Amino acid sequence: MRIDALALRNFRNYDALNVTFAPDCNVIVGENAQGKTNLLEAIVYLSSARSPRARAEKELISFGKSECSIKANAFARNRDFLLEIALAAGRRRKILINKVPVKKGSDLSDVLGAVYFCPEDLLLIRDGAAARRKFMDDALCQLRARYAQALSDYHRAYEHKTRILRDSEEYPSLLDTLPEFDLRMAQSGAVIIYYRARFCERLKEYAGIAHRECSGGREELGVEYQTVSTISDPLAPIETIYDQLRAHQASHAAAERASRMCLSGPHKDDIAVTIGGVNARQFSSQGQTRTAALAFKLAEREIYREITSRTPLLLLDDVLSELDGTRQDFVLNQIRTGQVLITCCEPEKLTGLGQTVQIHGGQVMQDVSCFAPEADFYLCTQCDRFSFALELGREAGGLAYSRKIEI
């Protein structure tokens, strides 16, 4: 699967962007705050209708504008797709696949899969359990429709149960409805645990290999799925997990009513991560943490490939900083399969890896690397800074150059 072309209108700091991508490696180069992450964000959004960093959709619309659009030509499952998303402040977003409106973000995931790694992913290891549950949920929702359904059922029942318990002191009769929500949470919870346990088994294997290789064989990554204490084997059939969840609910019913909190269920699941047998959350260095988070993401890509026989896009945002030479080499080796977009502030680290896309003030200059180093320099009309290697009068991705600078 791959994305061949992307067009953005009023998306973040892009007024109008048209860019094409190579089917293998694309190096997105630019100084800080030029729009590299925004570009990757647009692609993640196209693959799931979810932004990895925006809290509200309207954040994606350029400041001072009321609507934006993201369009892409993609190739997946042996055919071409035109993917379109239109966002407008105060209105429902529109998603079209080959001009046909669709309702769910998962319809986009069926076409385009993407694994995105960014500096904030350190939190995957460092933060509380919610970050690791989100990692499992995001990955599994892309892969298993049954999981996505169970997760949404579980959240709905959990919210009802939480409200009932919270308000039960004032309205004790609410407690009569609790068994219904316990039943629903056990049914959907069993499906969630069943899939998470299998996902973590694969994660343990693939992330273990990636971490070992990345650290030059010096470090062992440990990954252990942690769920409700009565589940003796999370890899057991769903019916067994269901029975054991019901037992846990029964043993915690009194405590839940007393504390007026929902204490039983996979909403407290976690993945215990160790490096060299030591708790990674508490003791790992910045570089080790980043390696472990990267290993998780690379493992996610392998699991995706194993389940669907398709290779998702790999979007690596600022991945090289804080990694030593061995670890950087490992990352650069990983980007030789499938389509990859990797951002970087220092292009010399990634020369010769693939097509270069130079980003500058929300505009794009493609294939800068193909120009001869002795080519002329020009002054950018927008920021008044020197740019390089463009023919006089030529427009590169919308950038206009006013005059040639003799050097």
Cβ closer to ligand ATP: 11 or 242?
11
Single out the residue of 59, 180, 224, 324 in contact with ligand ATP (rule: CB under 6 A).
59
Residue 38 touches Mg ion, criterion: CB under 5 A: no
CA–chain centroid gap for 283, Å, is 25
Place of tokens 């389940």: 307
> With the C-alpha atoms ordered 10, 389, 356, 6, is the resulting torsion angle positive or negative?
positive
> Among residues 87, 76, 83, 88, which one has the least CA distance to residue 102?
83
Single out the residue of 9, 19, 26, 30 in contact with ligand ATP (rule: CB under 6 A).
30
Closest distance of CB 317 from Mg ion, Å: 6
Of 35-43, 45-53, 292-300, 327-335: span binding Mg ion (CB under 5 A): 35-43
Tell which positions 290-309 bind ligand ATP, by CB under 6 A. Answer: none
Q: Looking at beta carbons, which residue is closest to Mg ion?
A: 37
Single out the residue of 37, 47, 366, 369 in contact with ligand ATP (rule: CB under 6 A).
37
Sheet of 355-360: strands edge to edge?
Answer: 114-117, 313-316, 340-344, 25-29, 355-360, 363-366
Residue 339 touches ligand ATP, criterion: CB under 6 A: no
Q: Give the N- to C-terminal CA distance of the chain in Å, as an integer.
A: 44
Sheet of 386-388: strands edge to edge?
Answer: 386-388, 377-380, 401-405
Q: Which does 26 bind (CB under 5 to 8 A by kind): Mg ion, ligand ATP, none?
A: none
H helix or E strand, kind and range, residue 25: strand 25-29
Closest distance of CB 80 from ligand ATP, Å: 28
Tell which positions 97-136 bind Mg ion, by CB under 5 A. Answer: none
User: Residue 323 has which token pair?
Assistant: 């990694």
Q: For residues 90 and 407, give the distance between their C-alpha atoms in angstroms, rounded to a whole number.
A: 51
Q: For residues 182 and 157, give the distance between their C-alpha atoms in angstroms, rounded to a whole number.
A: 8
Cβ closer to Mg ion: 35 or 234?
35
Cβ closer to ligand ATP: 165 or 340?
340
> With the C-alpha atoms ordered 356, 360, 362, 368, is the resulting torsion angle positive or negative?
negative
Residue 63 touches ligand ATP, criterion: CB under 6 A: yes
Residue 37 touches Mg ion, criterion: CB under 5 A: yes
Q: Which does 266 bind (CB under 5 to 8 A by kind): ligand ATP, Mg ion, none?
A: none
Residue 161 touches ligand ATP, criterion: CB under 6 A: no
> Among residues 225, 234, 226, 229, which one has the least CA distance to residue 263?
229
Q: Which does 160 bind (CB under 5 to 8 A by kind): Mg ion, ligand ATP, none?
A: none
Q: For residue 229, how many other CB atoms are within 10 A of its CB? A: 11
Of 59-67, 132-140, 148-156, 288-296: span binding ligand ATP (CB under 6 A): 59-67
Tell which positions 355-394 bind ligand ATP, by CB under 6 A. Answer: none
Closest distance of CB 314 from ligand ATP, Å: 17
Which residues would be at the binding site for ligand ATP (CB under 6 A)?
12-13, 30, 32-38, 59, 61-63, 318, 345
